[in-house]
């Protein structure tokens, strides 16, 4: 009994951790879409904002990519679903001896890396174009066409798998009966097989569209000079990002959640119709329900905040907060120095770990610490250094704290800075010569 | 020949010709010929368009030679950069596969055997949700998590566990976590499908006969779920080894993924035949892996690609 409770706790912990791994990154990414810093980050939280959604809507590249992606997705549905259907039907009728070979060939696009599929499609049509002496604006070199063909190669195989699964439950006697009763083959197909396959056609289409929409590996080779949403996204993520990408992710995650819920509702309804009983109510004891509820509450909360919150004033506040924080740290640092100067000998390497200012606000602005200007102690400071005796640590990288971005914010606090003996800025190259004449 | 006549008799002219034409277009013009053209192209020199088909357009092994030995004035005995990247990619893909297997097997077992009804369905449904979020956005989420100023660094610095931000990206930790994340679903569903059809009585029989839990798994569940496990491992390995977006976004600046080298030959490198040769190398490695899995676990291809 005890060991089973123990096991249950472990299993519960594992399930929670698993779903944390699954959803944590997406949730954190969603947070960055509502945070003001222009580099997407969830921590530290500064101000709530919706501006990144506006940035996203005004992004011409992304909108053009989105249009192309939708167009290509529809094209892939039109090509891949009939191909997959034909492939599945042939598989059910092909002779036993040839079947494994046939299956190996049609299933291989799923196993071939997407990169290879893209390259082979690109080369094939390029070579054909050269053979026919086609001009560069013909179909052979058209990025959209190539992408539809390249993606359909493997999406057809997905569609085929969906159809195979459905066809396994098909009773061929129905079709035979129709044929015996004088229906033509086309009529039997249209009246018997197609209605039976309707759900499979629906899910194959959705699958095909989504697979096409999110494909990158094949597309990046076949797309040529055109762009799709994924290629635009990839170049944005690689070369310069702002949280408008997170805003897009929020939209996609929300759409997926809605889709999943709709799917579940439809499925329940179907089940209820089939069984004639009411489906069980949502199980309240499970983490996913809580998660969905949490997401919902978070959504409500954010929209409530949005109506109440003045982003601009919050930004000013956040800047002020940052300035105060920096000052506080500097004062702390100074106090420590004073304290340490009383007991020389203990101070040299020890104090760094505990008291070093937390580099939270601007870790990315440290690269300058090794710049020559920052290293050598400027001449003007010599007297002070001698006086306190313990200033040698101030050139340790962590202590060079006030990062570039915060210096501008400190401008309003000038009087206070003087009051503190102006130590905070002494290593800032701009402050060296002119101030301390 | 009689087979085709039978096929036409059975389906009628219209349908039979639709099926035949569609399947031939798919197999010949979308699957086989492109691969053959790529293979052919990988044995050619990188010529300007005017010289293609001319007297200089002859077959050569130079592209494969370059992959193995590097350029003629390469001082090393072999092409250290590319071969290392190739091997490291395969090794890393295997690690990602094992990581996913370790993560997904218990979860799949739990889903299939220990949870029921609406609860199980909700869990399964919530597994699918992250999978439909774009590959690039998933990688991007891991960048937010693992960046120098990312959530993990900020959090642990704030806690004071360490003082210097850890460069997870340079250490490739972000990449492995991101790749493992991206293909979880492809590991969990085949195993889930396999385990779900296992009769619970078998497990209970083993337990009644005094078998400890690990032996139940080793002797009953794993042998039964073998096709699912093989399928999951193969898919995850293939997709990790062939991944391009995640290494581009999460990869360290000095650590390339093999697909990135292929990509470079096609883009900045401007040498398509050499890129094709590299793609063929990748393809051969993947085929070898699938054959190896089929041999080791004695499963058929149909059981792998589900």
pTM flag (> 0.80): no
pLDDT, residue A382, reads 40
| CA A369/CA A398 separation, integer angstroms | 9
Q: Map residue B144 onto helix, strand or coil.
A: helix
**What's the rounded mean pLDDT across residues B28-48?**
87
- Residue predicted with more confidence, A373 or B133: B133
**What's the rounded mean pLDDT across residues B101-113?**
86
Please answer whether residues A76 and A212 qualify as being in contact, where contact means their C-beta atoms are separated by less than 8 angstroms: yes
**What's the rounded mean pLDDT across residues A270-281?**
62
Q: Confirm or reject contact between B14 and chain A (CB < 8 A).
A: yes
Mean pLDDT lowest among A226-240, A291-305, B289-303: A291-305
| Residue A307: pLDDT band with limits 50, 70, 90 | low
| Residue A334: pLDDT band with limits 50, 70, 90 | confident
B161-180 pLDDT, tens digit each:
777 777 777 777 888 888 88
Q: Confirm or reject contact between B162 and chain A (CB < 8 A).
A: no
Contacts of A41 in chain B (CB under 8 A): 144, 147, 149-151, 154
DSSP states of A91-146:
HHHS-TTTHHHHHHHHHHHHHS-HHHHHHHHHHHHHHHHHHTT--TTSGGG-HHHH
Q: Using the beta-carbon criterion (under 8 Å), do B137 and A127 form an inter-chain contact?
A: no
pLDDT, residue A358, reads 41
**What's the rounded mean pLDDT across residues A258-278?**
73
A78-89 pLDDT, tens digit each:
999 999 999 999
pLDDT, residue A85, reads 93
A43-54 pLDDT, tens digit each:
667 777 777 788
Tell me the percentage of chain B whose pLDDT exceeds 90. 11
pLDDT, residue A354, reads 42
> pLDDT averaged over chain A?
73
Distances (CA, A) of B248 to A98, A216, B177: 41, 12, 14
What secondary structure letter does DSSP report for B44?
B
DSSP states of B161-177:
S-SSPP-TTTTTHHHHH
Nearest-neighbour CA in chain B from A74: distance (Å): 17
B251-271 pLDDT, tens digit each:
777 778 888 888 888 888 788
| CA A146/CA A124 separation, integer angstroms | 10
pLDDT, residue A27, reads 84
**What's the rounded mean pLDDT across residues B234-240?**
89
Alpha helices in A112-243, H assignment, sequence order: 114-131, 143-167, 172-180, 185-188, 194-214, 219-222, 229-239
Q: Is the pLDDT of residue B220 over 80?
A: yes
A408-434 pLDDT, tens digit each:
333 343 344 344 444 444 444 444 444
Q: Confirm or reject contact between B284 and chain A (CB < 8 A).
A: no
A139-143, A404-408, B25-29, B216-220: which is most confident: B25-29
Q: Using the beta-carbon criterion (under 8 Å), do B129 and A256 form an inter-chain contact?
A: yes
Q: Is the pLDDT of residue A75 over 90?
A: yes
| Residue A59: pLDDT band with limits 50, 70, 90 | confident
**What's the rounded mean pLDDT across residues B64-93?**
82
A87-146 pLDDT, tens digit each:
999 988 888 888 888 888 898 898 888 899 999 999 899 888 888 887 877 888 888 999
| Residue A28: pLDDT band with limits 50, 70, 90 | confident
Size of interface A-B (CB pairs under 8 A): 291
Residues 186-215 of B with CB under 8 A from A: none
Cβ neighbours, 10 Å, residue B33: 15
Nearest-neighbour CA in chain B from A317: distance (Å): 21
């Amino acid at each position: 009994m005890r060991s089973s409770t123990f096991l249950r706790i472990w299993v519960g912990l594992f399930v929670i951790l698993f779903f944390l791994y699954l959803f944590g990154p997406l949730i954190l990414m969603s947070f960055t879409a509502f945070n003001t810093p222009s580099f997407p980050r969830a921590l530290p939280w500064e101000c709530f904002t919706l501006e990144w959604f506006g940035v996203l809507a005004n992004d011409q590249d992304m909108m053009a990519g989105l249009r192309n992606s939708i167009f290509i997705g529809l094209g892939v549905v039109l090509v891949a679903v009939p191909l997959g259907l034909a492939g599945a039907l042939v598989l059910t009728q092909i002779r036993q001896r040839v079947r494994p070979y046939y299956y190996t060939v049609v299933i291989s696009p799923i196993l071939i890396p997407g990169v290879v599929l893209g390259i082979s499609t690109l080369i094939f049509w390029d070579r054909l174009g050269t053979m026919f002496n086609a001009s560069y604006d013909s179909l052979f070199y058209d990025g959209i066409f190539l992408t539809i063909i390249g993606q359909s190669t493997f999406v057809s195989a997905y569609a085929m798998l969906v159809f195979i699964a459905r066809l396994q439950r098909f009773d061929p006697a129905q079709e035979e009966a129709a044929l015996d009763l004088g229906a033509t083959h086309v009529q039997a197909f249209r009246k018997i097989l197609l209605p039976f396959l309707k759900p499979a056609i629906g899910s194959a289409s959705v699958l095909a569209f989504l697979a096409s929409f999110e494909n990158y590996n094949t597309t990046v080779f076949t797309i040529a000079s055109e762009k799709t949403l994924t290629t635009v996204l990839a170049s944005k993520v690689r070369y310069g990002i702002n949280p408008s990408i997170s805003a897009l992710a929020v939209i996609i995650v929300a759409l997926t959640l809605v889709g999943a819920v709709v799917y579940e509702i439809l499925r329940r309804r179907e089940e209820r119709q089939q069984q004639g009983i009411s489906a069980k109510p949502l199980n309240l004891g499970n983490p996913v329900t809580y998660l969905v509820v949490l997401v919902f509450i978070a959504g409500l909360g954010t929209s409530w905040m949005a109506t109440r919150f003045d982003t601009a004033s919050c930004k000013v506040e956040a800047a002020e907060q940052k300035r105060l924080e920096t000052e506080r740290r500097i004062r702390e640092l100074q106090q420590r120095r004073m304290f340490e100067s009383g007991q020389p000998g203990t101070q040299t390497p020890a104090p760094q770990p505990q008291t070093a200012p937390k580099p939270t606000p601007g870790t990315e602005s440290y690269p300058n610490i090794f710049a020559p200007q920052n290293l050598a102690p400027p001449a003007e400071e010599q007297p002070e250094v001698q006086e306190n005796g313990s200033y040698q640590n101030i050139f340790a990288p962590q202590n060079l704290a006030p990062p570039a971005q915060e210096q501008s914010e400190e401008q309003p606090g000038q009087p206070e800075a003087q009051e503190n003996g102006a130590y905070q800025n002494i290593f800032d190259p701009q402050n060296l010569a002119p101030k301390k004449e | 020949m009689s087979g085709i006549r039978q096929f036409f008799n059975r389906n009628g002219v219209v349908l039979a010709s639709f099926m035949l034409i569609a399947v031939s277009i798919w197999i010949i013009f979308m699957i086989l010929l492109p691969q053959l053209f790529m293979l052919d192209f990988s044995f050619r020199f990188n010529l300007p368009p005017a010289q293609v088909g001319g007297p200089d357009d002859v077959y050569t092994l130079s592209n494969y030679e370059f992959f193995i030995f590097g350029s003629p004035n390469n001082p090393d005995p072999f092409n250290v950069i590319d071969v290392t990247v190739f091997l490291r990619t395969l090794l890393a893909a295997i690690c990602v596969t094992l990581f996913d297997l370790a993560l997904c097997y218990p979860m799949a077992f739990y889903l299939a055997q220990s949870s029921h009804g609406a609860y199980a369905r909700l869990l399964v449904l919530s597994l699918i949700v992250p999978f439909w979020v774009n590959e690039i956005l998933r990688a991007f989420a891991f960048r937010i998590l693992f960046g120098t100023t990312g959530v993990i660094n900020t959090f642990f610095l704030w806690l004071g566990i360490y003082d210097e931000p850890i460069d997870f990206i340079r250490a490739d930790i972000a990449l492995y976590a991101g790749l493992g994340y991206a293909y979880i679903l492809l590991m969990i569903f085949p195993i889930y499908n396999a385990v779900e059809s296992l009769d619970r009585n078998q497990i209970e029989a083993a337990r009644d006969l005094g078998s400890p839990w690990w032996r139940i798994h080793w002797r009953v569940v794993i042998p039964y779920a073998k096709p699912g496990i093989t399928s999951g491992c193969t898919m995850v390995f293939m997709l990790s080894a062939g991944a391009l977006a995640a290494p581009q976004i999460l990869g360290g600046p000095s650590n390339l993924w093999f697909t990135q080298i292929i990509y470079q030959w096609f883009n900045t490198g401007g040498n398509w035949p050499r890129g094709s040769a590299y793609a063929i190398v990748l393809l051969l490695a993947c085929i070898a892996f699938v054959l190896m899995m089929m041999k080791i676990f004695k499963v058929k291809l149909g059981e792998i690609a589900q």
